[in-house]
Chain A
Amino acid sequence: MDYATLLQVLDTTLRLATPLLLACLAGLYSERAGIFDIGLEGKMLMAAMSAGAVAYLTGSVWLGLLAAIVGSLLFAAVHGLASITFRGNQLISGVALNFVASGITVLIAQSLFGQGGRTPPLEGAARFNPIKLPLADELAGVPIIGPFYAEVVSGHTFLVYVGLLMVPLSWWVLYRTRFGLRLRAVGENPASVDTAGISVVRLRYTAVAITGILCGLAGAYMSTGLQAGFGKEMTAGRGYIALAALIFAKWRPWYCLWATLLFGFFQAIALRPDVIENTIGISIPVPALDALPYILTVVVLAGLVGKAIPPRAGGEPYVKER
């Protein structure tokens, strides 16, 4: 593999890793607060459809982004209601909302546009366009680093950089702020947080809302950044890959970045079977590459590579002592 091909693959890696990263960080907040969320997929799908539809109708990608966040927050609210207020089974709620999202996005898109559950293709200001970072052209001549900066780092859409910035931000929020400490505590031992006079319910709702916002960004990126429009089931299991990445990352922000980049890399090379064959001399079937994130997650879950310990109070509704 020559340097130019490598840069192409890395460029695709970053593009494909972004929805995984945003969804993975979304899951991080919820799960760190003790609310399991397997509904990342559904929220992304809902957001992708809302963004695609509103961006097309208004011609503004920013309104599309806003709609995506609203759509995703609606689902997050139902999940919060089921798992916090009514103390229902969080896993079942997530599964249920994924099905609702899978169906309702098609129903809405079909009734609005009548194109078989798709939204019409987006153009111009209705989607996020590549941003050329400063000095990209000037530095392109510098050996090795120059092309890397120009090809891989520069030239992505707005939400890619938002995703990357979310990593240090999430680390700072979770580990350097009072809110983050409380959020992590409520996922480990809600009773202690309650004893300190802080509302468990409010903290958990806040965490679930942050999850909704980030899933909204992830979904908006799918339909307005990565692709130009919403298509039926367009998230194609990315919510679950993000969930896998979250476990792979052992519920830590920086590891989320590395895990999603790794899984994004698998998706990128799955698109270029010729590159694999030229590089390592054997052809790996594409389904094997598709399955790799899931297999790696099972390996991590099996405790073969370090142990993934989830937040202790995860999945358990909190009942205040009387």
Chain B
Amino acid sequence: MTKLPTWADVVLVPLISLALAAIISAFVLLGIGQSPTEAFWVMVDGALGSAYGWGYTLYYATSFIFTGLAVTVAFHGSLFNIGGEGQAQLGGLGVALVCLALPWPHWTMALPAAMVGAALFGAAWAAIPALLQAKRGSHIVITTIMFNYIASALLIYLLVNVLRPAGQMDPATANFPPGTHLPTLNEIPILNLIFTKKVPANISLFVALICCWLVWLLMWRTRLGYEIRAFGKSEKAATYAGISSFKIIMIAMLISGALSGLMAINNVMGESGRLVQNASEGAGFIGIAVALMGRNHPLGVLLAAILFGFLYQGGAELGLWTTIPIELRTVVQGLVILFTGALDQMVRMMLGVFFRPRPQARAA
């Protein structure tokens, strides 16, 4: 097979995968008797056509940046953390416990504490699968799947039996104190000139952007990041070079879990202001698509997260204005994962045709 130039591998492969996913989705829409072009424009208009739409797109993107980075860090250590969903749910629990513990006077104090809570709970939920992988060789994919289900059962129990205030019917915690309210983009000076209507995107967006930079710094500018990447490329070589596999598996998974958990400051603290059932709404799984699409680089993750934010907000608009079910976005999400993660060799082979070294022109 022809080896592709780096730029083609980094830029073309994800774009072509995306195009393939879009084409198949278009056929699916045609198959169920809908118009793909109409659907596309409804999505573009609803998600990107107004500051209000962007406010939602960026809100979803914020969550996806966190979970995408989480999958990325683990991927570099050749660990497939599919447990982002459970870790994000536990992160939500951490945020809720912190926010409800004290009558926080101002968000500037509540946010750092909530971040610590979210990250600790998320990391704790990743710790057991990591330990089992490192010590017992149990496959991390299977254990993290199991932990997603255990997390969801745990959260249902806690919300119904423990955290629900007396007299409230729906399984959710009490509302967080007003001092924990995170400023949304329409409440931040200067930005409020653009975002005039109330939008859910909030200050967590900037935390997410800082996390992108920190993950880049960690992976490519520190010794630890180098060790994680070396371990991911070749476990044997890394062990031979004196890198402890136990340490790398634990640290990579704890960072991954903490990043998934951090997502909760966006949805739980920033948007709903209380912890409800299934608060993460599948964002942990979208992190997989985001990381694959973003080629496991923080910049790629950022762009892919915005793309999926568009897909989510656009999909919601489809549900509102057309008869196309909102589940279309799950199909697109699955197709993107399929093409970028499992059929990437096929895409490379297709591209390889164009990058085959040309036979030397014969001298005249």
Contacts and interface: CB of A to CB of B under 8 A. Distances in A.
A86 B146 CA distance: 28
A298 B143 contact: yes
B132 A301 contact: yes
A96 B156 contact: no
A295 interface: yes
Given A86-B343, A291-B150, A107 B338 contact: no
Given A111-B33, A285-B157, A298-B132, A117 B335 contact: no
For B143, B157, B337, the residue with the greatest tally of chain A CB atoms inside 10 Å of its CB is B337
Interface in B118-154: 128, 132, 136, 138-139, 141-143, 145-147, 149-150, 153-154
Nearest to A292: B153
Interface string A233-251: 0000100100110010000
B278 interface: no
Interface in A66-91: 78, 81-83, 86-91
B145 A243 contact: yes
B192 to A, nearest CB: 36
Interface size, A (range): 35 or more
Contacts of A102: 327, 330, 334
B153 A287 contact: yes
Contact of B342 (A89, A98, A107, A290): A89
A298 B146 contact: yes
A97 B338 contact: yes
Contacts of A81: 343
A288 interface: yes
> Is chain A's interface secondary structure helix, strand, loop, or mixed overall?
helix
B141 A91 contact: yes
A149 interface: no
A303 B139 CA distance: 12
A294 B337 contact: no
Contact of A298 (B147, B156, B328, B337): B147
Contact of B28 (A83, A107, A110): A107
A4 interface: no
B342 A88 contact: yes
- Interface size classification for chain B: 35 or more
B73 to A, nearest CB: 17
A140 interface: no
Interface in B323-350: 324-325, 327-335, 337-338, 341-346, 349
Q: Max chain B CB contacts within 10 Å: which of A83, A98, A302?
A: A302
Interface in B82-141: 82, 128, 132, 136, 138-139, 141
A95 B154 CA distance: 23
Nearest to A314: B139
Contacts of B143: 298, 301
B288 interface: yes
A81 B339 CA distance: 12
Interface in A152-205: none
Contact of A99 (B145, B150, B334): B334
Interface in B305-364: 324-325, 327-335, 337-338, 341-346, 349
Given A93-B342, A247-B142, A303-B138, A99 B149 contact: no
B272 to A, nearest CB: 21
Contacts of B154: 287, 291
A90 B338 CA distance: 10
A106 B288 CA distance: 22
Contacts of B288: 92, 95
A108 B331 CA distance: 12
A91 B160 CA distance: 34
A232 to B, nearest CB: 8
Contacts of B332: 103
Contacts of B32: 107-108, 110-111
Contacts of B132: 298, 301-302
Given A96-B334, A301-B143, A117 B157 contact: no
Nearest to A91: B141
B292 interface: yes
B285 interface: yes
A86 B157 contact: no
A183 to B, nearest CB: 21
Interface string A107-124: 110110000010000000
Nearest to B332: A103
A1 to B, nearest CB: 24
Contacts of A82: 338, 342-343, 346
Contacts of A91: 80, 82, 141
B152 to A, nearest CB: 8
B129 to A, nearest CB: 8
Given A104-B28, A244-B142, A291-B154, 10 more contacts: A86-B342, A88-B344, A91-B82, A95-B285, A100-B330, A100-B334, A101-B334, A103-B327, A285-B157, A288-B157
Interface of B: 28, 32-34, 80, 82, 128, 132, 136, 138-139, 141-143, 145-147, 149-150, 153-154, 156-157, 160-161, 285, 288, 292, 324-325, 327-335, 337-338, 341-346, 349
